[in-house]
Amino acid sequence: MDFAWTPEQEQLFEDVVRFAREELADDVVARDRDGVFAADLWGRCARYGVLGWPVPEDLGGKGYSVLTSARLMEALGYGCRDNGLTFALGAQMWGVQKALLRFGSAAQVDRYVRGSIEGRLLGGYGMTEASSGSDAFALTTTAVRDGDHFVINGEKVLITFAPVADFSIVFAATDPEAGRWGLSAFVVDADTPGYTAHPVEEKMGLRTVPFGRISLRDCRVSRDALLGGEGSGAGIFSFSQGWERGLVMAPQLGVMQRVLEESIAEARNRRRGGNPIGKHQAVSHRIANMKLRLDMARLMLYRTAWLQEEGRPNLLEAALTKIYLSESFAESSLDAIAIFGGAGYKTEAGVERQLRDAIGGTIYGGTSDIQRNIVAGLLGL
Ligand SMILES: Cc1cc2nc3c(=O)[nH]c(=O)nc-3n(C[C@H](O)[C@H](O)[C@H](O)COP(=O)(O)OP(=O)(O)OC[C@H]3O[C@@H](n4cnc5c(N)ncnc54)[C@H](O)[C@@H]3O)c2cc1C
């Protein structure tokens, strides 16, 4: 692994930080309070090319390597204070687009991936149900073949973008008797009769990205809506989880860097008892721990991205990255609140929001428990 950035990569990083600071700055504290998604900021990201960073140039993307794309997502997180926005960009890029690029027909790629890159179409990823989450393959949504069509019935919950998505990748059982081997994925347009997106549901963090339920009631789609072949749903899910798990948290590295810098400044400038609070070892060690977690998380994510780019196995590394980065972000956010004292507990400072946003990372894309199960399994247990 060679993590020495080229001058071009360095320049891109600086450009993205500048773009994020200048173009993605708004009153995120108010939008977080009100749970408002910034469609205009999403559009700016699309026009800047963010959604096409890891997509080949002949398909309308920038063709950047996985490592470069991850590093630029880090830059975005460093410059942009809207964690919901950067999370959703990553989920779109590594979850929705990668599944379509790998398994989609030429028509699906042309329509949905190009639409996503250009910011015209928002895609949802519908796996989780009320009675299946960690055990995703136990889903109960069905898709019954009817001539050249499938009729889908079921309900998906906790789906990022569900209330506003233009289309969703929906997982359903086409052969319920066959268990995981009988699952299939469909790309369903949101205006298909029988597809209902429910209103935005309130949540603890990442409040600037809407999520919620999708109901499918006798939702009739043509065979062309199948993603990959019939029965390839489990493979598609595992494939996109592999991408998302290892990379979706790249922006959080940038957030952790920014919060570290702000915490250092606070520890230097905030005086109590005549001294800067950073003179107390209790405070300075919190800063040291924040730096330690950040550097570890960064190396783990770069390693995962590099292995992915090289086409080498990285299941173990991706699961470790997901656990460590999500939990480190939460721990370092707690440390930052402690350093800022009562002011850090106030919403307007924006410090407490990091903690609320961080918790989501320990759940989406497979909980920390499930990631530990994966690691243990790969270690032979
Ligand atoms: C912000 C956010 C965005 C999301 N976006 C999407 C999306 O776009 N698409 C989508 O399909 N889903 C999405 N999800 C859902 C997410 O994938 C699930 O919440 C997650 O997989 C956990 O499933 P669950 O909520 O049903 O919890 P459960 O599976 O019911 O788990 C409950 C608890 O039991 C533990 N547990 C369960 N089984 C095991 C086990 N075998 N071993 C050890 N511990 C176990 C879990 O770790 C957890 O602590 C999102 C969730 C969040 C928070």
Mean pLDDT of 91-97: 97
What is the structure's pLDDT at 1?
Answer: 64
Q: pLDDT, tens digit, for every residue of 132-186?
A: 999 999 999 999 999 999 999 999 999 999 999 999 999 999 999 999 999 999 9
All structural domains of the chain with their residue ranges: 7-123, 124-234, 249-378
CA atoms of 180 and 194, how far apart (whole Å): 25
pTM of the model: 0.97
Query: Measured at the alpha carbon of residue 165, what is the angle toward residues 62 and 183, in degrees to the nearest 5?
Result: 90
SS3 (DSSP) at 15: helix
Predicted pLDDT of residue 40:
97
Candidates 1.10.287.3510, 3.90.1150.10, 3.40.50.1950, 1.10.540.10; correct CATH number of 7-123? 1.10.540.10
* Ligand 1 site residues, Cβ closer than 6 angstroms: 125-128, 133-134, 158-160, 206, 211, 360, 363-364, 366-367, 369-370, 373
CA-closest residue to ligand 1 atom 43: 369
Query: What CATH class does 249-378 carry?
Result: mainly alpha
Residue 278 has pLDDT above 70, yes or no: yes
pLDDT over 70 for what percent of the chain?
99
Residue 282 Cα to chain centre, angstroms: 33
Options 3.30.1330.10, 1.10.1740.10, 2.40.110.10, 3.40.50.1260; CATH for 124-234 is 2.40.110.10
Q: State the average pLDDT for the chain.
A: 97
List CB contacts of 237: < 8 A, sequence separation 6 or more: 127, 136, 137, 171, 183, 185
159 DSSP 8-state letter: E
* Exposed / middle / buried, residue 136 (Cβ in 10 Å: 0-12, 13-18, 19+): buried
Alpha-carbon distance values, 314 to 246, 258, 288, 300 (Å): 9, 28, 29, 11
What mean pLDDT do residues 251-272 have?
Answer: 98
**pLDDT at residue 2, as a whole number:** 67
User: For residue 315, what are its two tokens?
Assistant: 């299941």
- Contact in structure between 293 and 328 (CB atoms under 8 Å): yes
Round to whole Å and give the CA distance between 86 and 76: 7
* Closest residue by CA, ligand 1 atom 35: 369
Torsion of CA 355, 353, 129, 149, to 10 degrees: -130
* Residues labelled catalytic: 244
Decide whether 7-123 matches 124-234 in CATH topology.
no
Convert the pLDDT of each residue in 307-332 to its tens digit.
999 999 999 999 999 999 999 999 99
